[in-house]
Amino acid sequence: MSARVSPSAARADTSRQAQKERTREAILAAALELSQSQGFAQTSLRQVARHAGVVPTAFYRHFASMDELGLALVEQSFGTLRAMIRDAQRDPETFADIIDASAEILVRVVKQNKAHFGFVARERNSGSEAVRQAIQRELELFISELAVVLARLPHLDTWSAEDVKLASGLFVRNMVYRAEQVVQMPDGRPDLEEEIKRKARREMRLIVLGFEKWDSHSG
């Protein structure tokens, strides 16, 4: 196991494993695009291969089955989601008004990654058993991660871990719903976009008001 990729820059790498990687990416991209219009389950191995510019049997050099491809797409998609959170936490605007910033970031990032978020939304309930479970698991993980962030907020810093997770779940599920709307939104409609942001903000505010009262409530 020596260092694989030699640092010869400039022109395209013609090495064997680099070419293989390129084909793999082409297959992933093809599957993602075809999924957008017809759903992953209706996307055939042959369609993917055709779109990626390879012969059907070449598919098997990269994935043992369409199911395995699906799992790779889940991983890719949640990579995008995690990048979104990381960016949000770096952005100083986030701490100024966490709700406004969240709505803003949500719409912007989902719009930039419609394919990935659309994939998750679609396959969450309708994918194969393996894909569905992978998504549920990642989503649970994401709720837990957000809970850690929320736990540092005023009002929530005294809550039990379970209560914070409940709040996190409410937020994530609403974000998922609004993300679904953004994915389905036609291009070039800033009015719809603003409407979604506005609704997302109001919903989050309503939930936050619940937070504030929960403090003195279950004491």
Contacts with DNA, residue ranges (CB under 7 A): 7, 14-17, 19-20, 22-23, 44-47, 54-58, 61-62, 65-66
Phi, psi of 153 (to 5 degrees): -80, 155
Residue 86 or residue 173: which is nearer to a second copy going by CB? Answer: 173
Q: What is each CA distance from 196 to 27, 81, 111, 192, 210, in whole angstroms?
A: 33, 19, 12, 6, 21
Residues 6+ apart with CB under 8 A from 98: 153
Assess 45 for contact with a second copy (CB under 8 A).
Answer: no
Binding segment (CB under 8 A) for a second copy, from list 21-29, 37-45, 55-63, 65-73: 37-45
Return the ∠ at Cα 107 (arms to 106 and 110), rounded to 5°: 80
Assess 203 for contact with a second copy (CB under 8 A).
Answer: yes
Assess 39 for contact with a second copy (CB under 8 A).
Answer: yes
Annotate each residue in 145-184 with x if it binds a second copy (CB under 8 A) or - if it does not, as one string.
---------------------xx-xx--xx--x--x----
Q: Which of a second copy, DNA, none does residue 124 bind (CB under 5 to 8 Å by kind)?
A: a second copy
Residue 163 and residue 214 in contact, taking contact as beta carbons nearer than 8 Å: yes
